Amino acid sequence: MYKIIFIGTPEYSVPTLQALIADERFNVAAVITAPDAPVGRKQILTPPPVKVMAQKFNLPVLQPRNIKAMATGIKKMASDAIIVIAYGQIIPPEILSLPKFGCLNLHASLLPKHRGASPIQTAIAAGDKTTGVTLMKMDSGLDTGPIIAQKKIKINNCHFLENGDPTDNRRDSRLRGNDNLDTGASLHDKLARLSAETLLQYLPGYLAGKLQPKPQTERQATYAPKLTRQSGRIDWRKPAEEIERLVRAYYPWPGTWTKWQEKILKIIEVDKNILKINKDKVGQIFLHNGRPAIQCGHSSLIINRLQLAGKQVVKGQEFISGYGQKINNC
């Protein structure tokens, strides 16, 4: 039985922890996660999801504010491997070298593509057709370690075009795609499950010396930056197809928004049907079959759900009913 230390924090990490606990080939000796943090408007101190899961199985839980301080304790545990998935802190070199078989990371992209903090959102926003999970041996760089294994899945990322402009006589074209287009939330859940599957499939072979990590190809590397609330501000000068992907990619975090009547207007969901309408000023809200639409740099988007600052999330038609007389530029 291999002795494992598990390091992770959010809901994304939980399926992998569950898989390790349930597999008789592994003994999860300890779980390292982030400290409890205030959550919600009432700022209630809340344990991270990984801690909640670990406590269900009476596993030792450590929550250092700086993981570097854990080096001595980790050394004493004499683990075979450390598994890291979505932790939130950089693992320092003095810890990377401690386990017998090193520290392994599960990254939510097909490395070297989309290294960094937001691979899930970046893949959707970029219009990628596929993504996946990479199991790699960690080094001191940012997602630069040699690759042990990868598993690939498709992204439901096609948009649809509608001939919504009566003055546009071009043939209506549609891009075939799944009606259930991926969002940041749906792809998050798919990759979380895939991470667990990937680890159980390939970790035993690696620990047995049957799989040798292979270096990444640096010239193919791309980066997925850390996202903030400001990242979600929509630039309506961009094409509608690009904005449509961004809205899906950034749901639920960090969300997409614009300014309307000097207030923050959150764009929760846009329609998959992109209107080939190019008549209005960029950023102009207009009515399309009784629903709000916005002119983009090229083509237009119908808004399905939105939320004005201080108000509830409403459907586009409800927004028109309440603010129809005030529709103007965003």
Distance CA 320, CA 324 (A): 4
Q: Rounded to the nearest 5°, which phi and psi values hold at 160?
A: -120, 145
Q: Which residues pair with 138 in a beta bridge?
A: none
Neighbours of 114 (CB within 10 A): 25
Q: pLDDT confidence of 325, banded at 50, 70, 90?
A: low
The pLDDT score that the predictor gives to residue 323 is: 75
Question: What gap in Å lies between CA 263 and CA 258, rounded to an integer?
Answer: 8
Confidence band (pLDDT; 50, 70, 90) for 157? confident
111 marked among binding-site residues: yes
- Predicted pLDDT at 168: 39
Other C-beta atoms closer than 10 Å to the C-beta of 233 total: 13
Q: Is 275 annotated as a binding residue?
A: no
Q: Check whether 246 has a pLDDT greater than 80.
A: yes
Look-up of token digits 């922890």: 17
User: Is the distance from CB of 275 to CB of 301 less than 8 angstroms?
Assistant: yes
Helices (H), 149-272: 184-207, 240-249
Q: Exposed, middle or buried, 85 (CB in 10 Å: 0-12/13-18/19+)? A: buried
Q: pLDDT at position 321, please?
A: 85
Question: Is 140 within any annotated ligand binding site?
Answer: no
List the domains of the chain with CATH numbers: 2-224 (3.40.50.170), 229-326 (3.10.25.10)
- Cα separation of 266 and 314, whole Å? 10
Helix (H) or strand (E) holding 316: helix 316-323
Residue 112 in marked binding region: yes
* Range scoring the smallest mean pLDDT among 13-22, 157-166, 198-207, 280-289: 157-166
Q: Would you call 325 helix, strand, or coil by DSSP?
A: helix
Confidence of residue 162 (pLDDT cuts 50, 70, 90): low
pLDDT in tens, 67-83: 999 999 999 999 999 99
Decide if 79 contacts 3 (C-beta within 8 A). yes
Mean pLDDT, residues 192-218:
98
Q: Tell me the pLDDT tens digit for each residue of 278-321.
A: 998 999 989 998 899 999 999 999 999 999 999 999 999 999 88
Contact 70, 98 (CB under 8 A): no
Mind listing the pLDDT tens digit for each residue in 44-57?
999 999 999 999 99
How many angstroms separate the CA atoms of 95 and 254, rounded? 31
